[in-house]
Structure 1
Amino acid sequence: MGPIYYYIMFFVASISALVYYSMWSETSVVHIKEDGQNHILFPARYFDWAVTSPLMLIALSLLGDAPLPAIVGIVGCDILNVSCLFFGAFYGYEHKFFWWATGLIFFAVLLFMLFQELSKASELGRVSQYDADTLRWLTYIFAACWAVFPVVWLVGQTGTSTTSFNVEIAFEVLADVVVKLSFILILIVRLPADGASQYSIKRDMNDIPDYGSAMKSGGWRGNLTSSTFV
């Protein structure tokens, strides 16, 4: 059996393929009439984002040897960001720009935490230079591509409708395909070349500040080794 990255990217690719098929076959299409205009929305797209983006962020966190609290914070902000965009598109109506702005705040916090962990992984020597370079490229690609979605949401059918439906879909699909193909190619092809295909981490919560005596009295311990995935 292969490393954990193989499984993560398998699920990312599979979920995205099924979602795109549902959009193409019009299985998950919702027509909403607002201000006399008919808007075409795809609820499955938000399901895709809510599942695949946390998986990719988990892959980044594992690659950067991030602590559990950081992983929870990054993934949590991502899920809240997608949830806000979803509610703004389907249930917000009069308050949709509030949902968009709130989601943007969560996205900004996500990026801050993501680049903070990237800096720690590189400067503190938590990972090898090879893995640090891989992590840096993937982080930049994820941040750039994922920043497209709130912008397109704002100018597209769900927001101000200042751009055409075809342009909106084109930018969203392009950003989505680029980030996921980049993750697949880099994680699956680049990492094993350096022997970094196995994820190994031993996290003793007693060594993490601010956990105090709760950990000493039998608290949670994370202990994942490469043998778990081989």
Structure 2
Amino acid sequence: MSGWWLWGYVAAMAAGALLFLRWWADPKGVPSVEYRVALAVPVWSGLWYTLLALGGGRTDGGGHPVYWARYADWAVSASLLLTALALTATHALPHRHPRLLTTLVGANLVMILSGLLGDLAVDPWSRYLLFGFGALSLLAILTLIYGPLRAVARRQPTELYRAYREAALLLGALWLGYPVFWLLGPSGVGLLGGTTDTALFVLLSVASKVGWGALDLARLRELGARHELPLGSTR
């Protein structure tokens, strides 16, 4: 049953990639970098989940399977999603604030690494300690998104700031599901079975990657079609 969920995920990523390619052909004033980042997410993620669907990308974690391919996917795809959010926050600004983005990506990598090491840990105390590090890293990411990055986004025209605020709230809400499912699944207390765990992560990841990316781009495309994107935003 898990295999069907994994192949369904691969199909969803392929559909998302085709959608972003189609939109890129008619950019509506949105810069190409936004499309490249959005496209890279489903392409990268779909490749790793293809490996999982074929039976690879996993190892034994002391009584439960550890899907290390998920972490390889998240390390890059989650960083790209943060990049997309930062691009929305700085869409009409002369600077992209690379230090802030670097901090966000660094916190994301710490979060993903903590989750992987916690998944591999045999001792329960070590596992939950590492889970705690990951949770703190997620808290740091959300603090940066709703604090400094939001302050940067506020310097933009009202409609662009609203687009950032909506995207940030949705991404944060979706990402909170990951530690909850991790904790409840085989990696944590084991209240969820393997198939249920896979299904929940698949649905959440489709919503976080293709769903969120499509909504973010659609908002920018709408503003571009209404000629409300500043002329300098087509970098």
Normalising by the smaller structure, the TM-score range is 0.7 to 0.9
Question: Residues of 1 paired with 2:50 and 2:145: CA distance?
Answer: 31
1:51-70 matched pairs, under 5 angstroms: 51-65=76-90, 67-70=97-100
Aligned counterpart, 2:107? 77
Aligned counterpart, 1:209? none
Aligned counterpart, 2:12? none
Question: Residues of 2 paired with 1:171 and 1:25: CA distance?
Answer: 19
Aligned counterpart, 2:132? 101
Aligned counterpart, 2:220? 191
Which 5+ residue runs of structure 1 have no aligned equivalent? Answer: 201-224
Aligned counterpart, 2:193? 164
Aligned counterpart, 2:176? 147
Which 5+ residue runs of structure 2 have no aligned equivalent? Answer: 1-23, 25-30, 91-95
1:96, CA displacement in angstroms?
Answer: 0.9
1:96-135 matched pairs, under 5 angstroms: 96-121=127-152, 125-135=154-164
**1:171-218 residue CA offsets vs partner (Å, 9 max, x unmatched):** 211111111123332233331232249885xxxxxxxxxxxxxxxxxx
Question: Residues of 2 paired with 1:64 and 1:16: CA distance?
Answer: 24
Question: Residues of 1 paired with 2:137 and 2:231: CA distance?
Answer: 31
Does the aligned pair in 2 maintain the 1:118–1:135 contact within 8 Å? Answer: no
Question: Residues of 2 paired with 1:130 and 1:149: CA distance?
Answer: 30
**1:125-160 residue CA offsets vs partner (Å, 9 max, x unmatched):** 421222212211211121111111111111211111
1:194-213 matched pairs, under 5 angstroms: 194-195=223-224, 196=229, 200=233
Percent identity of equivalent pairs: 23
Are 1:28 and 2:57 counterparts?
yes
Return the TM-score normalized by structure 1. 0.77
* Residue type at the aligned position of 1:62: L
Does the aligned pair in 2 maintain the 1:4–1:198 contact within 8 Å? Answer: no
Aligned residue pairs total 195
Does the aligned pair in 2 maintain the 1:148–1:171 contact within 8 Å? Answer: no
* Residue type at the aligned position of 2:104: I
* Residue type at the aligned position of 2:116: F
Instruction: Between the two structures, name the one with larger relative contact order (CA 8 Å, sep ≥ 6).
Output: 2
Provide the aligned C-alpha RMSD in A. 2.1
Instruction: From 68, 71, 80, give the equivalent of 1:46.
Output: 71
More strand by share: 1
Return the TM-score normalized by structure 2. 0.76
1:115, CA displacement in angstroms?
Answer: 0.5
Are 1:7 and 2:36 counterparts?
yes
More helix by share: 2
Segments ≥4 residues shifted beyond 6 Å: none
Instruction: From 150, 169, 178, give the equivalent of 2:207.
Output: 178
Kindly tell me: are residues 43 and 141 of structure 1, through their superposed partners in 2, closer, same or farther at Cα, counting changes over 3 Å?
same
Tell me, what secondary structure is at the counterpart of 1:93?
coil
